[in-house]
Structure 1
Amino acid sequence: MGFAPAPADTAPADIAPADTAPAETAAPAEGTAPAFWVDPQSAAVRQVAEWRRAGREADARLIERIAGQPQAVWLHSDGAGAVVRSQVEAAARAGRTAVLVAYFVPHRDCGAYSSGGARDAAHYRRWIDDFAAGLGSRGAYVIVEPDAVAQLVAGCPRADAAERYGLLAHAVERLKRQPHTRVYLDAGNASWIPDERRLVAPLRRAGIAKADGFALNVSNHQTDATSSAYAHRLARELGGGKHFVIDSSRNGNGPYQGPQAWCNPPGRALGTPPTTRTGDPSLDAYLWIKRPGESDGTCRGGPRAGQWWPEYALGMARRARG
């Protein structure tokens, strides 16, 4: 079962643009750790503006906990190169680094809530080439194909395993040609494939040797501690000193203990804000890869995968610590 439904590229049409970008888009002071870009036109930013106009000031302040944080931009349709270029150029103007997700592999999500992707292998290779060209020399953090490897390990009859591994290896190698680009191949989460040794050979087939490392917990809710312990075990099994990043966007209350724990679970909260200051030399960053407030799919009354869900976002922000 997939865990990383594709967010929409834009906010719903009925949410008006914000009047100003969040203050966090200012460039970081010289000498500080690398900082990530805050999208001034995200659905959360627009929601803040809409609720302020409607007099919902307290709710707007809560959503600012999301709007003010850097979050990944997901690319999952044709025309990726132009979108990537616009993102990395905007980030560069702010003196920051974009976080991007490549999410277009054929038979994406094995036909579940986030089904779709490229028509075939040739289409995907052209798409990745376009994505990479959009990066230019600006650089970015790129997460490669959430769920794609773990789904093969768990069982995905729709996908041809040999073809998918080859496409993932191509994506890693092609993206790493771009200067200043850090590439992390997705490795699922600590609850999906509990025995991390089962991921070693698949990740090697998918090109992990040429990546900077792997990503964990994308769109899931495992705690930072659980994910980090799992990541260190996996890194030891892989060898070569691989690093990793952790998606901490929605794990503030840990995983839901109930059915369909991955899909719009109740009672969740925002987690550790994005940062490269992790205190762990192997953990390159905590990132908000899944955009908090975007639905996992049409479960528990949610809209389709990737659509902004303001009341769900509000709950996560209200329950966030700090």
Structure 2
Amino acid sequence: MRTPRAAQHPIRRRLTRTRLLLAAGTAGLLACSAVATAQGLEQRPTQDVTRDVGTADLPADTVFYDHPGAIHEWVADNPNDARTALIEERIASQPQATWFSNYSPDTVTAEATAITDAAAAAGQVPVLVSYMIPNRDCGGASAGGAPDFPSYLSWTEDFAAGLGTGPAVVILEPDSIALTTCLDQNEFAERFASLREAADIIHAANPEARVYFDAGHSSWHSPGAIADLLTQAGVLESGDGIYSNASNYNWTDDEVGFAEAVLGELGDAELGAVIDTSRNGNGPAPMGEWCDPADRLVGDAPTVNTGSDRVDAFVWIKRPGELDGCDGPAGQFSPDKAYELAGG
């Protein structure tokens, strides 16, 4: 997945609750409406919002599930490679998100079920990335997605049907909110409406699923600007929180501060955040380079013990060793890159 350069801009029960938009919240929506109007969208009136999403934090004893992927296959197939031991110790041993990025409507339910069933059997929580929004990555290295929005929502129904009934973390469409520069007025409106509906579909299929919306990262949009976009995308009505630093390299402390600031702008004390710490052990690359930069390291291990009341978890959204699209096709596993990230 591509995240633009910083210089150019990386067990709960569902509770129904009514959210009253008081002075701060109303001001936020008015600012949001101004942004929408500037982009040619119809301004919507401010109104009370009823949410039907879960509100409890992930339990303190949460263990994230690691579904086998390309790195595990490589380790199994290369026991005598000099790089294997370090890659296995530092990366393959850690729970990582599973990406749903190939448009396969006929098999996505079974693919999701295989992960959520295995996680439930282990008493663990899977992290799944829905990465199927039309015009994904604005046609960049990770271009693709569903052919149109009706197909996207139909695919989301199939994806959600495989989420089971246990707790799950869903990372909803990386870069879908932070990266919209390629969209015209109608595409912008349709994308944001579809994000809201996708979250609702997921919650309806599995009330235990927590859905996090894209907030970019601390070197991209300001907290106020991304909060306006998140509001337009429906995070206040349909989301459980936000995520930042997906596939990027910014320091964890910077992302915690950024996430807390965005949540403050949103004005909803029940929203949380997750932060991608998979590749930020050395912090950001020089000049904000995002595409397979050299000399990076894996970061903090996945955990719910974040030290912040607003940050629900550190998770490995990007699977270390899978390329960004410069050293090879986006998503392809590179043992050389994995070894470098492992500290080799």
| Residue of structure 1 in register with 2:300 after alignment | 272
Secondary structure at 1:160 match in 2: helix
Which of 229, 238, 246 lines up with 1:218 in the alignment? 246
Match of 1:309 in 2: 334
**Residue aligning to 1:163:** 190
The residue that corresponds to 1:249 in the other structure is: 278
Q: How far apart, CA to CA, are the structure 2 residues paired with 1:258 and 1:122?
A: 39
How far did 1:46 drift? 2.1
TM-score when normalising by structure 1: 0.84
1:80 CA drift (Å): 2.0
Q: Deviation string for 1:72-115 (max 9, x for gaps)? A: 00112223222111110011111111100000001000000010
Q: Which residue of 2 aligns with 1:73?
A: 98
Tell me if the contact between 1:47 and 1:63 (Cα under 8 Å) persists in the aligned partners.
Answer: no
> Among 215, 221, 229, which residue is 1:202 paired with?
229
Q: Deviations over 1:43-65 (max 9, x none)?
A: 2222222331xx23x52211111
> Aligned ranges for residues 37-186 of structure 1 at < 5 Å?
37-39=65-67, 41-52=68-79, 55-56=80-81, 58-64=82-88, 65-76=90-101, 77-78=103-104, 79-152=107-180, 155-157=181-183, 160-177=187-204, 178-186=206-214
- The residue identity in structure 1 corresponding to 2:187 is D
SS at match of 1:244: strand
Bigger RCO (CA 8 Å, 6+ sep): 2
Alignment CA distance shift 1:315-1:2 (3 Å): closer
Q: For structure 2, which runs of at least 5 residues remain unmatched after alignment?
A: 5-58
**4+ aligned runs moved over 3 Å, structure 1:** none
Match of 1:8 in 2: none
The answer for the alignment partner of 1:13 in structure 2 is none
Q: Report the residue type matching 2:85 in the other structure.
A: R
User: How does 1:11-30 map onto structure 2 within 5 Å?
Assistant: none
Offset of 1:32 from its aligned partner? 6.3
Q: Is the 8 A contact 2:65 2:127 kept in 1?
A: yes
Distance in 2 (CA, whole Å) between partners of 1:139 and 1:35 is 11
Could you tell me how far 1:200 is from its partner in structure 2?
A: 1.8
**TM superposition score normalised by structure 2:** 0.79
Asked if the contact 1:176/1:211 (under 8 Å) is kept, the reply is no
Q: Partner residue of 1:27? A: none
CA distances 1:178-221 after superposition (whole Å, capped 9, x unpaired): 1211110111111121x221112211121101211000000000
- Secondary structure of the 1:82 match is helix
CA–CA separation in structure 1 for the residues paired with 2:115 and 2:152: 21
Identity among equivalent pairs (%):
41
SS in 1 for 2:226: helix
- The total of aligned residue pairs comes to 282
Unpaired segments of 5 or more residues in structure 1?
A: 5-30
Separation in 1, partners of 2:60, 2:287:
41
1:296 corresponding residue in structure 2: 324
What's the counterpart of residue 287 of structure 2? 258
Q: Matches of 2:268 and 2:70 in 1, distance apart?
A: 39
Give the one of 205, 228, 250 matched to 2:256: 228
CA–CA distance in structure 1, aligned partners of residues 108 and 213 of structure 2 = 18
- Secondary structure, in 3 states, of the residue corresponding to 1:134? coil
RMSD, matched Cα: 1.7
Shift of 1:161: 0.3
